[in-house]
Amino acid sequence: MKFLHAADLHLDTPFQGLTGVPSALRSQLIAAPLTALTRLVNLAITEQVDFVLLVGDLFDQQAQSVAAQAGLMAALERLNVARIPVVLSFGNHDYQPAGSQWHFPANVHAFGPSVKTVTLTTADQTQVAISGFSYDQRWVTTPKIADYPAKLPTVDYHIGMLHGQLGTAGDHYAPFSVGELLAKHYDYWALGHIHQRQTLNTVPPVVYPGNLQGRYRDETGQKGCLIVESQADQTLRPVFHALAPITWTTWTPKLQGPVDRPTLLKQLVDQFSTTAEDGTELVLITLPTTVELSATAMLALTQGALLTQLQGQLTTTACWPVDLQLAADKSQPVLGGLDQAVWQQAGQRVVTTEQIAALADHLLAEPFLNQTLLEDLTPAQWRQRVLGLLQEQYHLTTEGGAADGD
């Protein structure tokens, strides 16, 4: 028995934190999430999987773009033609309020708001039960895990689909503990929601596949899905397959000692790799603390001129620098106007709405904070309040727009 496990497709995702992207690269960015989905379907077909699981956040927003819907439908239809069943759920980003209508191909089973179980029979007559649910609102604070049945005695394998995160009652994303999951005696827990690929338990696997395409600077590295195959001892083993056409990477050039502006630029151009191995890389460059920049080099760095010059000297967009910063060195005292400018810029980069929202979500996992802070506030009000306080305290300007967790 073999299946594909993916989550957090965020098909209509906006790439965040990018400006001045060349047009050739821009069209690749726009197409990236759907390209990753096309590759997912290709993989499912070539691997001849018995079924595909998509565990929530298929779309980035509750109101999906027409292009993203059409892309998903086309992908599901290709799997339908290939006779590959798909079991999917909606997550916190693409929650489906009561009455939502979807006309999926016949091979698709979409879970509703209460936990249900579907049973599939694979080509070799293996019986597989799959239990799951969809979000019908942005937050699901009541643990759903109690609603999942214990492993059905009539099936060969039982799989749980769960878009959520570790936590306790009151947390926002269908909170669960690994112990609660294991107590169901399932053979595999197909998780979604956390965009970083991670294994919470090995046997049986309790696994986040990570998202399909990194959306911003924090989502670095290869992104894709898991192909899960039954082993001779009846256990299930997931193997990662990269699918994202665009990868966010970090890079630190080799630089040492005092460097003036022309030397710094030449070093960067010479060292910058233009040989992205597979697909396009968006590169976040960090200069090492071992470098001593001249005043003009520092100014060019903080004002962004150096990055623009570096971009201007590249002959390809296959490996594209999107950020250039000096590594944080806490041992250096903050002195003078120039350091103030660096501090301001660093602040603007670090204190983004996205980061604050992510941080706020983590903080809200603490029940006492959750109860105290959120009693009368909506999530939007909460974030607005956090931003306001930060701006007041540190005189920071931050990007506008609503941001979300995972």
- Is 111 or 157 the residue whose CB approaches Mn ion more closely? 111
Cis geometry, peptide bond prior to residue 367 (ω within 30 degrees of 0): no
Q: Cβ of residue 94: shortest distance to Mn ion, in angstroms? A: 9
Q: Cβ of residue 56: shortest distance to Mn ion, in angstroms? A: 7
Backbone Cα Rg of the chain: 23
Stretch that binds Mn ion, among 7-15, 81-89, 290-298, 315-323 (CB under 5 A): 7-15
Q: Cβ of residue 266: shortest distance to Mn ion, in angstroms? A: 41
Stretch that binds Mn ion, among 2-10, 61-69, 148-156, 199-207 (CB under 5 A): 2-10
Phi-psi region of 336 (alpha: psi -120 to 50; beta: other; left: phi over 0): left
Residue 406 near Mn ion by CB under 5 A: yes
- Is 158 or 163 the residue whose CB approaches Mn ion more closely? 163
First to last CA, the chain: 30
- Is 199 or 391 the residue whose CB approaches Mn ion more closely? 199
The footprint of Mn ion on residues 20-59 (CB under 5 A) is 57
Can you tell me which of 6, 8, 34, 227 binds Mn ion, judged by CB under 5 A?
8
- Is 165 or 302 the residue whose CB approaches Mn ion more closely? 165
Q: How far apart, in whole angstroms, are the C-alpha atoms of residue 283 and residue 221? A: 11
- Is 122 or 213 the residue whose CB approaches Mn ion more closely? 213
- Is 64 or 122 the residue whose CB approaches Mn ion more closely? 64
Residue nearest to Mn ion (CB): 57
- Is 68 or 255 the residue whose CB approaches Mn ion more closely? 68
Q: Cβ of residue 150: shortest distance to Mn ion, in angstroms? A: 28
In DSSP terms, 248 is beta-bridged to 282
Residue 361 near Mn ion by CB under 5 A: no
Q: How far apart, in whole angstroms, are the C-alpha atoms of residue 249 and residue 221? A: 6
The two tokens of residue 113 are 């708001």
Q: Cβ of residue 57: shortest distance to Mn ion, in angstroms? A: 3
Q: Cβ of residue 20: shortest distance to Mn ion, in angstroms? A: 27
The footprint of Mn ion on residues 54-73 (CB under 5 A) is 57
Binding site for Mn ion (CB under 5 A): 8, 57, 406
